[in-house]
Chain A
């Protein structure tokens, strides 16, 4: 019996992780991606491996997902992670007030937390704002965005998944009843159109998810919400430095290689394919970043960029939940053969893949359990080393 064939549209975090999960569960997987791995939102995340602390007060579902997945990723893909933890620091009275709810939230979400005195925090991180009032140690981390996705993709390819990059989904192939039976793609390397058939299509296009579902007349409530990040030329800190308050603009300073990344903002847009970096947001990052790490005020900007988060459901910008959702469009729009996974965060990519693969298995009547929690990932370099 031949394996069921699943096409995944999009090779960002969810696409690559889902291909890994489905390949392990015995599916014949083809990933199509219009650019190269992670050319959209995934590549441009700031790279914070969330401990969940950021969401522990207002969005505990996300917070729990984060801490669980944080610990799993540290285990299965240590080669792309700076596992140095994070600090939440309070700089004013409002921060201290928030601290009460923060402690409660972290306890409720089983996020390990340790309050330390300002002097102790300054000893650990000499470059943070010396006027801090208190600090909490938390198991944040930093990951390399591209290489995180590549690690999943490499392992998937080793397990038989096929990757077709520079292959753009131009339309969905529908049967007479409006059900999805494949994808019409454009191979951008040869400028040829090809029809690819599949038993099921997974739409893992994140912020672009609406554009794909529209091709089948289905809908997903995705609200693309970009944010700006600015990178400075010095590694001021070893840990993720967070402002101890509800999520806001420029409240994270993250070490990465020789740099620090300050993020982020939140705004709305019309055109998804090109979002300019707004100068007023860059200025805001400088100001906010320097509140956490004063040295940033005198550092050289190395890069400015933005990424478009796929937020789902009701709520505007920051108030929207950061959790993910997987839609079986048979149930939501009576379109069979199409599953959409969107929302979420990089940190939860494996869980998103697990959920998606569960839905795929249920839809195709396949009995297979998820094992990705325990499978160490291959070296990211092996993605490029596999013959396709």
Chain B
């Protein structure tokens, strides 16, 4: 008669990504994973593209000419941004893991993100002006 389940509710593999009802730390976690997946994808893409280097100057310079339009540069900026966000977020994780600033991890996260955004801006300005 009693329908006591005694089992945990089923976890769903995408739940970490669902932003509703999350606080700062939860968003940091989601941000870290999304950038991680993006960067991993880019890493292998990058390795494949660089194989053009081995094929000699013409192939590679033709490729470089193709990617020098603003849309490609913007894409590249996204990668740089992801790397910077992931890196600074990672610093939070490493510091808190070893007991530094655990009680102030929220403030630490915001401070690092401010630095990250500034770094992204500097890169962005540089990439579009050079």
**A touches B in complex, CB < 8 A:** yes
B6 touches A385 (CB 8 A): yes
Smallest CB gap from B6: residue in A: A387
Closest to A162 in B: B2
A193 within 8 A of B: no
Cβ of A388 within 8 Å of any chain B Cβ, yes or no, is yes
Name the residue of chain A whose CB is nearest to the CB of B2: A388
Say yes or no for A158: interface residue by CB 8 A criterion. no
Contact with A along B34-51 (1 / 0, CB 8 A): 000000000000000000
Taken together as a complex, chains A and B put the C-alpha atoms of A162 and B3 apart, in Å, by 13
Instruction: For the complex, give the distance between the alpha carbons of A385 and B4 in Å.
Output: 10
User: In the assembled complex, which residues on chain B have CB atoms less than 8 Å from the CB atom of A162?
Assistant: 2
Please give the distance in Å from B5's CB to the nearest CB on chain A. Answer: 10
Distance A164 CA – B4 CA, assembled complex (angstroms): 10
Q: Which residue of B lies closest to A187 (CB)?
A: B1
Q: Which residue of B lies closest to A189 (CB)?
A: B3
- Closest CB of chain B to A231's CB: distance in Å? 24
Assembled-state Cα–Cα distance A384/B3 (Å): 13
Residues of chain A with a CB closer than 8 A to B6's CB = 384-385, 387
**Chain A at the B interface: SS class:** mixed
A189 to B6, CA, bound (A): 16
List chain B residues, Cβ under 8 A from A164.
1-2
Closest CB of chain A to B4's CB: distance in Å? Answer: 5
Contact partners of A384 in chain B: CB under 8 A: 6
Chain B residues touching A, majority SS: loop
Q: How large is the interface on B (under 10, 10 to 19, 20 to 34, 35 or more residues)?
A: under 10
A385–B2 alpha-carbon span in the complex (Å) = 14
Q: Which residues of A contact B1 (CB under 8 A)?
A: 164, 388
For the complex, give the distance between the alpha carbons of A273 and B80 in Å: 62
Question: What residue in chain B is nearest A388 (Cβ atoms)?
Answer: B2
How long is the Cα–Cα vector from A244 to B1 in the complex, in angstroms? 52
CA distance A385 to B6 in the complex (A): 7
Chain B residues 1-17 with CB under 8 Å of chain A are: 1-4, 6
> CA–CA, A384 to B4, complex, Å?
9
Cα distance, A126 to B1, chains bound together (Å): 55
Complex Cα distance A189/B3, Å?
A: 10
Output the least CB separation between B38 and chain A (Å): 42
**Residue-wise interface mask of A (255-268) relative to B, using a CB-CB cutoff of 8 A (1 in contact, 0 not):** 00000000000000
In the bound complex, CA of A162 to CA of B6 (Å): 16
* Contact string against B for A residues 338-373, beta-carbon threshold 8 Å, 1 for contact and 0 otherwise: 000000000000000000000000000000000000
Report chain A residues within 8 Å CB of B2: 162, 164, 388
CA distance A384 to B2 in the complex (A): 13
Measured between alpha carbons, how far is A39 from B82 in the docked complex, in Å? 51
Which B residues from 41 to 73 make CB contacts under 8 A with A?
none
Chain A stretch 158-172: residues in CB contact (< 8 A) with chain B: 162, 164
In Å, the complex CA distance between A265 and B36 comes to 59
Q: How far is the CB of B104 from chain A (nearest CB, A)?
A: 21
A189 and B2 CA atoms in complex are apart in Å by 10
Q: Please report the C-alpha to C-alpha distance between residue A162 and residue B1 in the assembled complex, in whole angstroms.
A: 11
Nearest neighbor of B5 in chain A, beta-carbon distance: A387
Point out the residues of chain B lying under 8 angstroms from A388, CB to CB.
Answer: 1-2, 4
**What's the Cα separation between A189 and B1 when bound, in Å?**
11
> Which parts of A127-165 form the interface with B (CB within 8 Å)?
162, 164
User: Chain A residue with minimal CB distance to B3?
Assistant: A189
**In the assembled complex, how far is the CB of residue B97 from the closest CB belonging to chain A, in whole angstroms?**
27
Considering the chains assembled together, what is the distance between the CA atoms of A189 and B87 in angstroms?
49
Q: What is A's interface to B at a CB cutoff of 8 Å? A: 162, 164, 189, 384-385, 387-388
List B residues at the A interface (Cβ < 8 Å). 1-4, 6
- A-B pairs with beta carbons under 8 Å apart, 6 shown: A164-B1, A189-B3, A384-B6, A387-B4, A388-B2, A388-B4
Given contacts A164-B2, A385-B6, A387-B4, 8 further A-B contacts (CB under 8 A): A162-B2, A164-B1, A189-B3, A384-B6, A387-B6, A388-B1, A388-B2, A388-B4
The 3 A-B residue pairs with the shortest CB-CB distance, nearest first, are: A388-B2, A388-B4, A387-B6
